[in-house]
Amino acid sequence: MLFLRQTATIALKDLRSEFRTKESLNAAISFAVVILVLFSFAVDPTADQIREISGGLLWLVFAFAGALILNRSFARELGNDCLDALVASPVPGAALFLGKASANYVLLLIVELVSLPIFGVLYNMRWTRQPLMLAAVLALATWAVTVIGTVFSALTVNLRLRELMLPTLIYPMMIPALMAAMRLTTLLIAGEGIAADDWIWVRLLIGFDVIFTSLAVTLVEVVLVG
């Protein structure tokens, strides 16, 4: 119970700080919108072509915009040495990690929920044909991006080039989850549903989330204290 309370306290603290400053949320949403707008000007594809690339386009936007949020996750603790105050407190490393990951997860979902309608308008796509399955895929894949990003945010927090290092480190790690998310999102936006053969991608996302969350929760203490 105490563990959950401490996790929630960290998550609410991060969300409150972010909603007050909006520094990473504004940057991530602006970035996502600009990419969607520019891409819509750059190419003039047919509806079928858009349907085929929709998953890839959306998840590249989510992943790149997400890096802006994930980068700030632990970096915001550096001012006034707040990270030391947190690590010295009796909060277990796992609660600290899960609290930060939960806040990042909410922020990434906000970016996605803002981006999807804009994508629908700009590319003339009805993206709500399979809303429940799409929500489930977004939930699973966003957690995959969040968990990898939050761990590496902790790992790179003291590096001078952390803004560069974080994307360099996280994208290769995310490839399996992004492949699954892109394939499933493409199918769902096309309104096809998930065929029996494609359930392997859902299982991959679930497995990815379980494995990397377990690893992160186990190793975060070493990452934070050395």
Partner 1 sequence: MNAVAVEDLWKYYGDFPALREIQFTVSSGQCLALLGRNGAGKTTLLRILAGLSRQQRGQVRIFGRDARHPATRAAIGVLGHGIGVYDELSAIENLRLFGRLYDLPNPESAAKQWLERTGLAGVAASLVREFSRGMRQRLAVARAFLHQPSLLLLDEPFTSLDDRAVALLQSVLQEALQRGSTVIMSTHQLREAMEPATHVGLLNRGRLAFHGPRPEEMLGDPGWLYRAYGEG
Instruction: List interacting residues with partner 1 (CB under 8 A).
Output: 2, 5-6, 9-10, 13, 16-17, 20-21, 79-82, 84-92, 221, 225-226
Shortest Cβ distance from residue 222 to partner 1 (Å)?
9
Whichever of 132 and 225 has its CB closer to partner 1, that residue is: 225
CB closer to partner 1, 97 vs 123: 97
Token pair, residue 199, equals: 């359930």
Measured from the CB atom, the residue of 10 and 148 that comes closer to partner 1 is 10
Neighbour-count burial of 55, counting CB atoms closer than 10 A to its CB (0-12 exposed, 13-18 middle, 19+ buried)? buried
Q: Select 84 or 192, whichever has its Cβ closest to partner 1.
A: 84
* b/e 75-96 (16+ beta carbons within 10 angstroms → b): bbbeeeeebeebeeeebbbbbb
Alpha-helical runs (H) found in 89-161: 93-122, 131-155
Compute the least distance from the CB of residue 188 to partner 1, in Å. Answer: 38
CA 194 to chain centroid, in Å, comes to 22
Smallest gap from Cβ 224 to partner 1, in A, equals 9
Instruction: Assess contact for 11 and 73: CB atoms under 8 A.
Output: no
Closest distance to partner 1 from the beta carbon of 21 (Å): 5
